[in-house]
């Protein structure tokens, strides 16, 4: 793992409360759909597996995110803490998006995260499945950007 002067609180070791905060901060970042902003949460030498794509550093991750949000339009994400230890967090998530032909999808997944001592994510392993949905089946209706605090989470939505 890289050592760097950058920090991204909350820092490990995580408590239940700080792990929940870390998950929400990650959700908020990804809902910004800003590859530069989101990439700063990762170490310079971060390692990712996302579906069949791999990233080996922060620049690779930023490129991945740029391609992702150019394809996955009107992206809205909810993450939920699944488990945590000292410097690791497991989450489950769902996000809704549509392609450039107007076809809607809900993507379900799990991620395993490992953080360095400065709170930057050093490893991210994601498994994701896409389910076509009708626009009328969408459950994520907030304006683009951060999910409002009063919007139900995954468990509340039965997802």
Instruction: Using DSSP bridges, classify how beta strands 104-115 and 42-50 pair: parallel, antiparallel or unpaired.
Output: unpaired
Would you say 103 and 97 are in contact if contact means Cβ atoms under 8 Å apart? no
> In this predicted model, what pLDDT tens digit does every residue of 34-77 receive, in sequence order?
999 999 999 999 999 999 999 999 999 999 999 999 999 999 99
Q: What whole-number distance in Å separates Cα of residue 122 and Cα of residue 115?
A: 5
Rounded Cα distance, 103 and 109, in Å: 19
Convert the pLDDT of each residue in 86-104 to its tens digit.
Answer: 999 999 999 999 999 999 9
pTM over 0.85: yes
């Amino acid at each position: 793992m890289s050592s760097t002067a950058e920090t991204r609180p909350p820092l490990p070791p995580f408590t239940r409360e700080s792990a929940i905060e870390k998950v929400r901060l990650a959700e908020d970042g990804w809902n910004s759909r800003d590859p530069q902003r989101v990439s700063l949460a990762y170490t310079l030498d971060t390692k990712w597996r996302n579906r069949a794509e791999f990233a080996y550093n922060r620049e690779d991750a930023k490129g991945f995110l740029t391609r992702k949000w150019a394809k996955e339009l009107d992206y809205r994400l909810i993450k939920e803490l699944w488990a945590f230890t000292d410097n690791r967090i497991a989450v489950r998530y769902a996000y809704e998006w549509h392609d450039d032909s107007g076809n809607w999808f809900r993507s379900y997944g799990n991620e395993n995260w490992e953080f360095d001592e400065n709170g930057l994510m050093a490893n991210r392993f994601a498994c994701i499945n896409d389910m076509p949905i009708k626009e009328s089946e969408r459950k994520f209706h907030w304006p683009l950007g951060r999910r409002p605090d009063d919007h139900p989470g995954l468990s509340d939505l039965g997802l």
